[in-house]
Amino acid sequence: MNRELENLIIEESWTVAKGKRKDKPLLARINLGLKPLVGDSRYPHWFGIAIQLKSPNKDGFPSPEESSQLAEIEDMIANALQKDNQSLFAAVLTANGIREFVFYTSDPEAAKARLAVVAAEIDTYEKIGRAVKPDADWTIYRRFI
């Protein structure tokens, strides 16, 4: 546990944006509260978590029922990864039948371990994909702000 990160105060401020991904509609929720931390050397890794939607509509978005399930999963993932500010919740992207949660993390291995614990509790989706890559400049986040 990093005391410096644990004591970091982050004010979340979410906005919604629309766009396109592979010529299909994209809906993004972006945490603008992270703007003062863009490129923060304490969070040099992008951590993406992806869930394939069960029954996306023609635009690739979930039904209201599935949206409720995904909101519960989002809360579980966010609570686990944001504990002690180990990871920062940057965005939620929905497009092409996939919901992706975007984090920036100080410790990729710890983030993977926390996600594994949460994933074991989720029985509504068989597979939760994840990817980690260095992104010290926060280029993925910057695309949306």
Q: Is 126's pLDDT higher than 60?
A: yes
Q: Residue 6: in which H helix or E strand, if any?
A: helix 3-6
Domain boundaries, the chain: 3-142
Three-point CA angle 62, 125, 29, nearest 5°: 40
Question: What's the pLDDT tens digit per position in 80-117?
Answer: 999 999 999 999 999 999 999 999 999 999 999 999 99
- Domain spanning 3-142, CATH class: alpha beta
At 1 the pLDDT is 54
The 10 Å Cβ neighbour count of residue 116 is: 12
The DSSP secondary-structure symbol of 44 reads -
Write phi, then psi, for 12 (nearest 5 degrees): -75, 140
C-alpha to C-alpha distance for 107 and 80, rounded to whole angstroms: 13
Query: Whats the size of the chain, residue-wise?
Result: 145
Q: Is 7's pLDDT higher than 90?
A: no
Report pTM.
0.93
